[in-house]
Amino acid sequence: MSLTIRSLQHYAVLVEEKHYSRAAQRLHLTQSALTRSIQALEDTLGLVLVDRASTGVTPTQAGRMVLERAQRILGEARDLRREAELIRGHDTGRVNLGVGAFPAAGFLSPLLVRIAREHPGLSVHVEVESWQRLLDKLQQDKLDLAVAVTHSLPPPGDFTVRPLPPQHGGLFTRAGHPLQGLDKPRLRGALAQYRLAATDLPTRAREYLARLYQVARLEDLPIAFECDSVAALRDVALGSDVVLFCTREAIAAELEQGVLEPLPLAYPAAGPLTYSVIHRARRTLSPTAERVIELVQDLLSGIDAPKRAAGAKRRARR
């Protein structure tokens, strides 16, 4: 059997997942088909590549050498596909896009709608994750680019960072919440009585919240609900007395409608949250990826409009 890109990909995924069933699921193969593929690769190379044990699969010494070569070959293959996209232009091709939880709530659905309408030949794979997990996937070349709040965890120096309109974080509650209407001194004293709903937060954000909640340890923060779905967290805040930690842009519609309201506690003290497009500096983005970035910039440039309208309505009511 000849050596193929597909067989090398199967082997790389198996080593990463450390288990045949999980690797097969990720590759959309049956476990028996994946087993045959790995055995065929071993026969082609004349090497035993993996050891199987009750704890999972581990590469042999020869397997580690093959994995290193396989990853280089797979990287070259990805680069070749991207070069082909550069030639074809942005009406076709695929973009692997990572998005942080807050920006996803603010622009992801409108972005995908515009792509579907304006670029029907373009395919987009989206992963909504915390910034740390997005960074890991960028470093592994599993994503072409990511859009995330990077205020608390700036990317390393080998990444290109393109600034976007900033996000504005804060604490929010449902309209009519007992905390609404309190002055700042009483608000700070009463805040600790109410639990939090938040995404998976970096240390810097947790430190800020610990100061607000007047707790000595980060693990003592009263976070009742933690997930990467802003929609789910928003609904918890709307239906209970839980306090939502979020960005204004992610809940712009609810703020405009007046069903969610901010608490007068600014976050962060140093100013708005840094919001960026990040990609590996050594990678030349395809026209397809550049077009996605243009669409993101267009959408984010318009996000301030509903926020300004909501602010104008609140000032008029006063």
Instruction: Output the domain CATH number for residue 249.
Output: 3.40.190.10
Would you say residue 187 lies in a domain? yes
Range among 139-153, 191-205, 238-252 with highest mean pLDDT value: 238-252
Chosen domain end from 55, 85, 115: 85
Say what the pLDDT of residue 119 is.
86
Mark whether 102 and 113 lie in a shared domain.
yes
On the question of pLDDT at 313 being above 80, the answer is no
Mark whether 153 and 284 lie in a shared domain.
yes
Mark whether 120 and 252 lie in a shared domain.
no
- Count Cβ atoms below 10 Å from residue 236 Cβ, excluding itself: 17
Would you say residue 212 lies in a domain? yes
Range of the domain at 31: 5-85
Lowest mean pLDDT among 32-41, 59-68, 215-224, 267-276: 267-276
User: Quick one: pLDDT band at residue 295, thresholds 50, 70, 90?
Assistant: very high
Mark whether 194 and 232 lie in a shared domain.
yes
On the question of pLDDT at 185 being above 90, the answer is no
Mean pLDDT, residues 226-232: 91
Q: Which CATH number goes with the domain that contains 21?
A: 1.10.10.10
In angstroms, rounded to a whole number, what is the distance separating the alpha carbons of residues 61 and 95?
A: 35
Mark whether 243 and 293 lie in a shared domain.
no
Chosen domain end from 59, 85, 111: 85
Mark whether 281 and 211 lie in a shared domain.
no
Mean pLDDT, residues 116-134: 88
On the question of pLDDT at 284 being above 50, the answer is yes
Q: What is the mean pLDDT of the chain?
A: 85
Say what the pLDDT of residue 85 is.
65
Mark whether 202 and 256 lie in a shared domain.
yes
Say what the pLDDT of residue 303 is.
52
Mean pLDDT, residues 172-191: 92
Would you say residue 10 lies in a domain? yes
Range among 18-32, 80-94, 255-269, 280-294 with highest mean pLDDT value: 18-32
Chosen domain end from 85, 112, 145: 85
Would you say residue 311 lies in a domain? no
Percent of the chain with pLDDT over 70: 89
Mark whether 129 and 77 lie in a shared domain.
no
Question: 145, 133, 138, 148: which is closest to 103 by C-alpha?
Answer: 148
Would you say residue 14 lies in a domain? yes
Mark whether 298 and 154 lie in a shared domain.
yes
Would you say residue 308 lies in a domain? no
Sign of the CA dihedral 314, 315, 317, 318?
positive
In angstroms, rounded to a whole number, what is the distance separating the alpha carbons of residues 237 and 235?
A: 5
Mark whether 144 and 287 lie in a shared domain.
yes
User: Quick one: pLDDT band at residue 312, thresholds 50, 70, 90?
Assistant: very low
Higher pLDDT, 316 or 189: 189
Would you say residue 309 lies in a domain? no
Q: How many domains does the chain have?
A: 3
In angstroms, rounded to a whole number, what is the distance separating the alpha carbons of residues 310 and 253?
A: 9
Mark whether 156 and 292 lie in a shared domain.
yes
Would you say residue 70 lies in a domain? yes
Taking each helix axis from N to C end, the angle separating 61-88 and 287-301, rounded to the nearest 10 degrees, works out to 70
Mark whether 81 and 128 lie in a shared domain.
no
Say what the pLDDT of residue 293 is.
92
The per-residue pLDDT for range 13-68, each reduced to its tens digit, is 999 999 999 999 999 899 999 999 999 999 999 999 999 887 889 999 999 999 99
User: Quick one: pLDDT band at residue 75, thresholds 50, 70, 90?
Assistant: confident
Residue 62, phi then psi, degrees to nearest 5: -65, -35
